[in-house]
Structure 1
Amino acid sequence: MKTILVPTDFSPLSLKALDRAVDLAIPVQASILLLGVVKYPEPILMDAHAEGSWDQDMDDAFEERVESIENRLRCLLDQPKYHQVPISAIVNRQMSTIGETIASSKADLIVMASEGATGWKEKTTGSNAERVVRYAKCPVLIIKNAEPIAYQKVLFPTDFTNTKALHAFFAFADVRKAHPHFLTVNTGYLDRSFDDLEEDMTELAVDLKLESYSYAIIDAVSEEAGIIRYAEEINADLIALYTHGRTGLSHWFHGSIAEKVVNHSEVPVLTLVQQ
């Protein structure tokens, strides 16, 4: 891991994401790219008799906003606690959605904050974190308000159809140090017996070289509901999920469990794209 991307809007939660990125960067000697994103404003109606061009007024205001964010980034990185790792800061001028801009950035890991999205917001605009999880080609760590100091319990939902992704999670030092809790959610469509699933889990533990682990099979109305509920029951510090990376019609019909968990979970979420 060479580069960690951290988007920021200077909120306390996004600064917590930066602190976590620093913790992750130090042991692997990675650098951090701190990203401020400025979206060009939508045109607004102005008095036809007003002096000057509304285009010029909008451009001037936009550049002032960019300059203001650049100054805030410099002041932020002047703090001694951010001198432990190489951190560079840029302001991205963009016309597309913020989530797509972040996801398209070249990085080995994205660490970002999210307060989630529920109700009408989820059905219409969703959250920036949801879009990043959907489009990103690298792992994404979503920081929540309940971000712990260290990950002691990590929840791995699995149906045993892609254990390669689970191997990739253990490449993260913080994940390796934690106690792994594996979970299969039964929504009524399991095509294997519980005994078969237990046997799959035993084989997976041997494959991952795990000395200790926990495994549970629970019933729930949906996979995301079961994951969120069980994470709360065991007081998980992190949920590790792989995504399908679906877009277009495929995403419309199938959706993504990871995106729904990101939107509704109070627990931090780490996602990887399923290969």
Structure 2
Amino acid sequence: MKTYLVPIDFSEAAFNAADYAAHLSKQTDVTHIILMNAYYISSYETLLPDPNMLMLREEEIEENAADRLKGLNNLKQRLQSEVREGVTITTRLNRSHLLRAVVDTVANEHADLVILGSIGNSTVRENNEGIGSHVIKISKACPVPVIVVQPDYRYQPIHKAVVACDFKRVKENLPTEALHKLLSKYPIKLLVVNVDPKGKHAYADAQQMAEETALHAMLKDLKPEYHYITQPEVIRGVLDFAANHNAQMVIALPHTYSFLQSILHDSISKQLATSSSVPVLLLK
């Protein structure tokens, strides 16, 4: 993965995601990190007055844009000492909604990975809606993998990664190419965990065994470990497993984005803030 895109809304969560990207560069072959801020101004804001009968002047828009670029460049300077030697950091100001800005920048800059803070500010001015509400949309619309970083997480070198797998239609849902691209060049131990509250594995369920056989064949080059847990609460089970095995990342497969929605839910987010929460990689 040669190019990372990090959306920056100047929240602490976004700065933390940028720090994560910088440190991750020392463990990967990335050569380019893009810090991008999406700054959307609707035509109504420039044509119609606000409730206080004030109109947004072009000078104010330009000043705001200049301040944002200055903030991006300040962040760039700080990160330059944290990235691996040879990694280039550039900045972009995109005058569109965050989702459109991410998709367009990925396409135009050939980005291989998007790294997001799990919470933050919206790109629409005077709107306090968190970036967390955009994460699912970005993850679904973005054509490349997305890493979601919790605001309190501090980068640790990735030695172990947990893949949450339900053993359903693995040939259709498992992006083996992306997994091999991510894991085959680096000494990362892959732990495949299946939450199996009904104990299908123990009772040799025929369909379960067929899916297992297919999965073993697809991942044999990565030499993963396979684990089965019976906790009925899938999300809690996977996260507890990752914490208990000192994993530095949880990998969610396509079509399982309810996993991420659950993590972003307020009650679970509060639990994760006091536990060993880890970044989540959403594969394509």
TM-score range, shorter chain: 0.7 to 0.9
Which residue does the alignment assign to 2:21?
21
1:88 partner letter: T
Are the aligned partners of 1:111 and 1:140 in contact in 2 as well (CA < 8 Å)?
Answer: yes
Are the aligned partners of 2:33 and 2:87 in contact in 1 as well (CA < 8 Å)?
Answer: yes
Q: Measured at CA, do residues 190 and 176 of structure 1 come closer, stay the same or move farther in structure 2, by a change above 3 Å? A: farther
Choose the corresponding residue for 1:178, options 181, 188, 210: 188
Is 1:268 equivalent to 2:270 in the alignment? Answer: no
Q: Measured at CA, do residues 4 and 66 of structure 1 come closer, stay the same or move farther in structure 2, by a change above 3 Å? A: same
Are the aligned partners of 1:133 and 1:258 in contact in 2 as well (CA < 8 Å)?
Answer: no
- Normalised to the residue count of structure 1, the TM-score between the two structures is 0.73
Give, in whole Å, the separation in 2 of the partners of 1:168 and 1:33: 21
2:158 partner letter: Y
Are the aligned partners of 1:104 and 1:135 in contact in 2 as well (CA < 8 Å)?
Answer: no
Tell me how far 1:38 sits from its aligned partner.
Answer: 1.7
Gaps of at least 5 residues in structure 1 are 48-53, 117-123, 245-254
Give, in whole Å, the separation in 2 of the partners of 1:180 and 1:143: 19
Which residue does the alignment assign to 2:124?
none
Give, in whole Å, the separation in 2 of the partners of 1:242 and 1:210: 16
3-state SS of paired residue (2:39): strand
Gaps of at least 5 residues in structure 2 are 121-129
3-state SS of paired residue (2:175): helix
3-state SS of paired residue (2:55): helix
Give, in whole Å, the separation in 2 of the partners of 1:205 and 1:239: 19
Which residue does the alignment assign to 2:225?
213
Q: Measured at CA, do residues 170 and 133 of structure 1 come closer, stay the same or move farther in structure 2, by a change above 3 Å? A: same
Give, in whole Å, the separation in 2 of the partners of 1:77 and 1:181: 35
Q: Measured at CA, do residues 226 and 212 of structure 1 come closer, stay the same or move farther in structure 2, by a change above 3 Å? A: closer
Which residue does the alignment assign to 2:165?
158
2:166 partner letter: D
Tell me how far 1:257 sits from its aligned partner.
Answer: 2.2
Give, in whole Å, the separation in 2 of the partners of 1:213 and 1:24: 24
3-state SS of paired residue (1:55): coil
Q: Measured at CA, do residues 71 and 126 of structure 1 come closer, stay the same or move farther in structure 2, by a change above 3 Å? A: closer
Map 1:49-60 onto structure 2 (within 5 A). Answer: 54-57=54-57, 59-60=58-59
Which residue does the alignment assign to 1:121?
none
Tell me how far 1:178 sits from its aligned partner.
Answer: 2.4
1:240 partner letter: I
2:61 partner letter: F
Are the aligned partners of 2:119 and 2:131 in contact in 1 as well (CA < 8 Å)?
Answer: no
RMSD over aligned Cα atoms: 3.6
Are the aligned partners of 1:181 and 1:213 in contact in 2 as well (CA < 8 Å)?
Answer: yes
Q: Measured at CA, do residues 272 and 261 of structure 1 come closer, stay the same or move farther in structure 2, by a change above 3 Å? A: farther
Map 1:1-275 onto structure 2 (within 5 A). Answer: 1-25=1-25, 27-40=28-41, 43=45, 44-47=50-53, 54-57=54-57, 59-79=58-78, 80-81=80-81, 84-94=86-96, 96=97, 98-106=98-106, 107-115=111-119, 127-144=133-150, 145-160=152-167, 161-163=169-171, 164-173=174-183, 176-186=186-196, 193-194=203-204, 196=206, 197=208, 200-201=211-212, 204-208=215-219, 209-211=221-223, 213-221=225-233, 223-244=234-255, 256-263=257-264, 264=269, 266-273=277-284
Tell me how far 1:66 sits from its aligned partner.
Answer: 1.0
Q: Measured at CA, do residues 153 and 199 of structure 1 come closer, stay the same or move farther in structure 2, by a change above 3 Å? A: farther
Q: Measured at CA, do residues 32 and 148 of structure 1 come closer, stay the same or move farther in structure 2, by a change above 3 Å? A: closer
Tell me how far 1:35 sits from its aligned partner.
Answer: 0.2
Are the aligned partners of 1:134 and 1:259 in contact in 2 as well (CA < 8 Å)?
Answer: no
Give, in whole Å, the separation in 2 of the partners of 1:271 and 1:29: 18
Give, in whole Å, the separation in 2 of the partners of 1:207 and 1:56: 57
Tell me how far 1:111 sits from its aligned partner.
Answer: 1.2
Q: Structure 1, residues 42-93: CA drift from partner, whole Å, max 9, x if none?
A: 853124xxxxxx3343x43332211101112222223441574112101111
* Number of matched pairs: 248
Are the aligned partners of 2:116 and 2:147 in contact in 1 as well (CA < 8 Å)?
Answer: yes
- Normalised to the residue count of structure 2, the TM-score between the two structures is 0.71
Q: Measured at CA, do residues 11 and 195 of structure 1 come closer, stay the same or move farther in structure 2, by a change above 3 Å? A: same
